[in-house]
Structure formats: structure tokens, C-alpha cells
Amino acid sequence: HIRNITLAHNQIVPKMGKGLNIVLVVVYLILASPLIVAEIVILARNNHNPCDKPLQTFILVAIITQGVAVLIGIISFFVPKVTAVLGVFCIFFIVWMSLGASWIAQTNDCSTLVPELYKMSLSVVIIFLSFTGIGFCIVCCGACLYYLPALGLPAH
């Protein structure tokens, strides 16, 4: 069965790789663009307000990482080996979102002093966790659909 899985993987992944990559980048652009604009507006409006946790830095780095993710996705159309960089970048983004979630949970005064920034930070973390969960489900379901026939099991 391992041989069948390997053969299926070698036949399917190269065919779907580039098309799937294009779809993912387009979907990400459609979904992330309004969020990035909202983050920039909120950050500009609340740039000088004091808060006990560095939520301004959290949002700023989130904007930069989202932009870099889009660039890596676009560059990967032309240089496929860039996807390895995307993996390292995703690990950084997960750590950064975890740190942001920690800051949001531990803040004492951000929700009252800078409510827009607090709510935007909370929204960014919730959206990230939602997309992470949805992405995980899509990957798992896709893997099952592609590899079930290789195991001799019906895919429907």
C-alpha cells in the first residue's frame, strides 16, 4: 500500500501544485486585503495611545507578515523552491500570533484606553485561528480524497 500511495502522490501533486497555489494566493489576496487595510487604518488612528502591552507592534508585524506571505506566494509561481521559505515563515507567523494572543489575554488597560486597537488585535488572532483550522481541515480532507483510491478504498 505504501508503494501505491507514493505513486499516487508522484502523479497527483505535480499536476495540482501550480493551479492550487494560484487559487490559494488569489483567495488569500481577496480575504486578506480588507483586513490589511483595516489594520493600517486602526494602527494609524491609535499610533500614539499608551497601552500596557505592545499591541501596536503586534499589528505592525502582522501587517508586514501578511504582505510578505503574499509576496512569497506570488514569487513561488516563478521559483517553486520558495515554498520551503514559506514553511519557515508560517512557523514565525504562528509564534507571533501566539504571542499576540498572550498579550491580548494579559492586558489590563488596552481594552479601555485603545478599544479599536484592542478589538483589531483580537480580531486578527481570531481570524488567524479560524483560517488555520479551516486550512487544516482542507488539507486533511484533500489528502484523504487523493490517497483513498491509492489504498484501494472508494473515495466517495
Nine cell digits for residue 16: 495540482
Instruction: With beta carbons less than 8 A apart as the criterion, state whether 96 and 60 touch.
Output: no
Q: What is the pTM of this model?
A: 0.71
Instruction: With beta carbons less than 8 A apart as the criterion, state whether 117 and 54 touch.
Output: no
Predicted local distance difference test score (pLDDT) of residue 9: 45
Predicted local distance difference test score (pLDDT) of residue 102: 94
CA distance 2 to 123: 42
pLDDT per residue, tens digit, the chain (156 aa), is 344 444 444 455 555 555 666 676 777 778 778 888 899 999 888 877 778 888 899 999 999 988 887 787 777 767 767 767 777 777 888 899 999 999 999 998 888 998 999 999 999 999 888 877 777 777 777 777 766 666 665 555
Cell 488555520 found at: 132
* Alpha carbons within 13 A on the beta-carbon side of 65: 21
Instruction: With beta carbons less than 8 A apart as the criterion, state whether 66 and 127 touch.
Output: no
